[in-house]
Amino acid sequence: MEKKKKKKNTKEKMAFVLALDLLLLAAVLIAGGMLVFRWYRDKNRPELSLLKAPDWYTQDFLRINPYSRPGTKRKEINSIVVHYVANPGTNAAQNKAYFDNLADQTGENATSASSHYIIGMEGEIVQCIPLDEVAYANYPRNDDTVSIECCHPDSTGEFSEATKASLAKLIGWLCGELNLTERDVIRHYDVVGKNCPKYYVDEANWKDLKQSFKPEIKAARQEKKQQKELTE
C-alpha cells in the first residue's frame, strides 16, 4: 500500500514538472515570437520624415506651438484613428484654422487639440501636421497613431460619400506606406471609449465603412510591393 502511494506521488510530481516545463517552453516560444515580430516590423518600418506626400492632398501645416503642434518627433506609427469633427457643416479649412488659432491662446484654461489630417465634405484632404510629429487627438496614444478628422453635414455625424471616398483613399495610402493593415484602422472610440466618430460608434455602421477601406488598402499595398521589387 505504501509503495503504491509513493508511486502515485512520484507520477504526480513528474506530471507537475512536465506541465511546468511545457508552460516555460510556451512562454519562451511566445516571447521569441514577439521578438521576431518586432524585429520584422522594425526592419520594415519606414522613415517617417522621408515619406513623400501624394499630389492628391494638400499639406498646410499648423504653426509650431504648445497647444496644437508641439513639434514632438516620433519614429513609429502603429494605428490609424478615425474621428469626426463634431462641428456639423464646417469644412476642412475652417477646422484647420481652428487648430492653428489655438496657438494664440493665453491663460490657464488653454485647449490642446489637433489632427494630422482633416477631410472635408467635398472630399478635400488637408494635412495639418507631419507624420513624424505628434498630434493632440488620440491621448494616451498620440505617440504612435495617425489621426484623421472627418467633416460631416449634420449632427448625426455620418460622412458624405465624398468624405468616405477620400477617407478610404487616404487610409489605403497610409497603410501602404506604413506597412499597416485593416486591423490597424480604429476609431477614437476604440482608444478611450469616446463617442467618436459618432455615427460610426455603431458597430454595423463602422463595419460598413471599413468595407470601403479594403480595396484601397489592397491596391496600395500591392503598388508598394511592386515598387519595392523594381528597386531590388
Q: CA-CA distance, 68 to 128, in Å (whole number)?
A: 10
Residue 27 shares a structural domain with residue 119 = no
Residue 34 shares a structural domain with residue 148 = no
Residue 84 shares a structural domain with residue 130 = yes
40, pLDDT greater than 60: no
Helix (H, G, I), strand (E, B) or coil at 84: strand
Residue 117 shares a structural domain with residue 34 = no
Residue 179 shares a structural domain with residue 64 = yes
Which CATH number goes with the domain that contains 126? Answer: 3.40.80.10
Instruction: Provide the mean pLDDT of the chain.
Output: 91
Residue whose grid cell is 519606414: 46
51, pLDDT greater than 70: yes
Domain residue limits at 37: 1-43
Residue 91 shares a structural domain with residue 158 = yes
Dihedral sign for Cα atoms in the order 93, 94, 96, 102? positive
Nearest partner of 206 among 179, 232, 186, judged by Cα: 186
Q: Which long-range contacts (CB under 8 A, 24 or more apart) does 222-230 make?
A: 223/176, 224/176, 224/177
Domain tally for the chain? 2
Question: Beta strands 117-119 and 125-127: pairing type?
Answer: antiparallel
Q: How many CA atoms lie within 13 A of 172 on its CB side?
A: 21
Q: CA-CA distance, 116 to 129, in Å (whole number)?
A: 5
pLDDT digits (tens, 9 = 90+) for 215-229: 999 999 888 888 777
Question: Beta strands 79-84 and 125-127: pairing type?
Answer: unpaired
Residue 191 shares a structural domain with residue 154 = yes
Residue 158 shares a structural domain with residue 178 = yes
Residue 18 shares a structural domain with residue 121 = no
Residue 29 shares a structural domain with residue 57 = no
pLDDT bin (cut points 50, 70, 90) of residue 20 is confident
Residue 55 shares a structural domain with residue 29 = no
CA-angle at 221, arms to 217 and 223, nearest 5°: 120
Q: CA-CA distance, 210 to 193, in Å (whole number)?
A: 19
Q: CA-CA distance, 177 to 42, in Å (whole number)?
A: 14
Residue 117 shares a structural domain with residue 148 = yes
Cell numbers describing residue 19 = 506541465
pLDDT digits (tens, 9 = 90+) for 74-133: 999 999 999 999 999 999 999 999 999 999 998 788 999 999 999 999 999 999 999 999
